[in-house]
Amino acid sequence: MTTLLEAVRRHADAQGIDGPIATPIPGLLVVRATSPSELMHDVQRPLVCLVQQGAKRVSAGARTVEFSAGDSLLVTADIPTVSQVTRASAAEPYYSLVLELDPALIVDLVAQMAPPPVADPAPLRVDPTDAETADAALRLMKLLERPDALPVLQAPLVREMHYWLLAGRHGDAIRKLGWPDGHVQRVARAVSLLRRDYHRSIPVERLAAEAGMSASAFHQHFKAVTSLSPLQFQKQLRLIEARRLMQSQGASASRAAYAVGYESVPQFTREYGRMFGRTPAADARVALGGAVQSAQVLQR
């Protein structure tokens, strides 16, 4: 009988690459790593990650969680994260299955379900994977091998997986994503503005107005949802985007700094070093070295 690990491994290995791998089902990805990774900075959307093999560490704000095979990571807000695959090898790669959570689907399901126990409000948490969630995930992965059935069956199976997540220990935290006028959704509106206009200076009053809150209430709820202040959130967005510009487009440090909204290159360099542990120039050299090594491997 096929296990979820075998199904994830089969799909990931067929692509022959490390990193997140999209599937034909929107919002469903598999992840593979054949060695421990460097620190990876990203801005996560609400999701659940079911680890099948290996181990990983993720930090958001002051909170750090570690998880391994049999655990599920739940992210219940748009938050900047620092992650690292801590256990993986060519013989035993890291494998996980990731599903982005759908607020509209959550709203529909919550209307038909009894309320669960109140959960920890932190936007990042880890618990053992529920058997029902793993079973639904396995059937979803098996469906990838039946492309003719995907248009008919993928929506019911994605819905079922959301149901079991809501019915499990994370139910209270997940259902907050579906409250149209709840604090999580209000903060999400401000986060969308920050993500869209991260390169501009946005007064906190404008962000608060977008969330429909007073400035003081907004600051309090924003930090409760994301673990960061609005200013810290925007700074991390800018630095992550600047790093992407330098690594994927070869932008210089000064060009990347100005592109993401910095007016001072020395300030950008200082803050970049504090966040990533290397100066922009040193980071660019490391990225270039990795790209050259990957190209050499492909040419063999």
Asked which of 196, 213, 234 is the last residue of a domain, the reply is: 234
Unique residue bearing structure tokens 């991390």: 236
In this structure, the answer to whether residues 158 and 193 fall within a common structural domain is: no
Residues 88 and 155 reside in one and the same domain: yes
How many helices (DSSP H) and strands (DSSP E) are in the chain? 12, 10
| CATH number for the domain harbouring residue 110 | 2.60.120.10
**196-233 confidence digits (pLDDT tens):** 898 899 999 999 999 999 999 999 988 888 888 999 89
pLDDT of residue 178: 66
Convert the pLDDT of each residue in 13-57 to its tens digit.
998 899 999 999 999 999 999 999 988 888 888 899 999 999 999
Report the half-sphere exposure of 197 (CA within 13 A, side-chain side).
10
* 37, 122: one domain: yes
Arithmetic mean of pLDDT, 141-160: 94
Strand order in the sheet with 28-33: 19-22, 28-33, 94-100, 47-53, 71-75, 124-128
Strands of 27-176, DSSP E: 28-33, 40-44, 47-53, 55-60, 63-68, 71-75, 79-87, 94-100, 124-128
How many domains does the structure of the chain reveal? Answer: 3
249: Cα separation from own chain's centroid: 22
Please write the tens of the pLDDT for every residue from 111-128: 888 776 666 667 788 989
Q: Which domain holds residue 69?
A: 4-174
Half-sphere exposure of 21 (CA within 13 A, CB side): 19
Do residues 204 and 259 both lie within one domain?
A: no
Regarding whether 254 and 117 lie in a shared domain, the answer is no
Name the burial class of residue 74, with classes exposed (0-12), middle (13-18) and buried (19+) by CB atoms within 10 angstroms of its CB.
Answer: buried
Tally of residues, the chain: 300
Percent of the chain with pLDDT over 90: 53
The pLDDT value given to residue 118? 62
Same domain, yes or no: 197 and 290: no
Q: Are residues 117 and 9 in the same domain?
A: yes
Sheet with strand 55-60: strands edge to edge: 40-44, 79-87, 55-60, 63-68
pTM as predicted: 0.79
Q: Residue 184 sits in a domain of what CATH number?
A: 1.10.10.60
Overall average pLDDT of the 93-110 stretch: 91
Q: What pLDDT is recorded for position 180?
A: 57
Measured distance CA(293)–CA(287) in Å, rounded? 10
Q: Among 174, 197, 218, where does a domain finish?
A: 174
- Do 163 and 257 share a domain, yes or no? no
Instruction: Please indicate, yes or no, whether residues 16 and 165 belong to a single structural domain of this protein.
Output: yes
Confidence of residue 294 (pLDDT cuts 50, 70, 90): very low
Q: Report the pLDDT value the prediction gives residue 300, as an integer from 0 to 100.
A: 44
Q: Which residue has the higher pLDDT, 281 or 144?
A: 144
The verdict on 55 and 132 lying in the same domain is yes
Exposed e or buried b per residue across 184-205, where buried means at least 16 C-beta atoms within 10 angstroms of its C-beta? bbbbbebbebbeeebbeebebe
- On average, the pLDDT of the chain sits at 87
Token pair 């990042």 in the structure block, residue? 124
Q: How much is the average pLDDT of 243-266?
A: 90
- Is the pLDDT reported for residue 70 higher than 90? yes
Question: Residue 300 in 3-state DSSP?
Answer: coil
CA–CA distance, 213 with 179 (Å, rounded to integer):
16
| Nearest CA among 211, 284, 210, 206 for reference residue 242 | 284
Report whether pLDDT(97) > 90: yes
Nearest C-alpha neighbor of 261 from the set 178, 213, 194: 194
Cβ proximity of 44 and 87 under 8 Å: no
Pick from 174, 192, 219: which residue ends a domain? Answer: 174
**Confidence class for position 265, pLDDT limits 50, 70, 90:** very high
Task: Give the Å distances, CA to CA, from 220 to 24, 189, 193, 228.
Answer: 39, 15, 18, 10
Q: Looking at the structure, do residues 147 and 50 belong to the same domain, yes or no?
A: yes
Let me know whether 222 and 115 are in one domain.
no
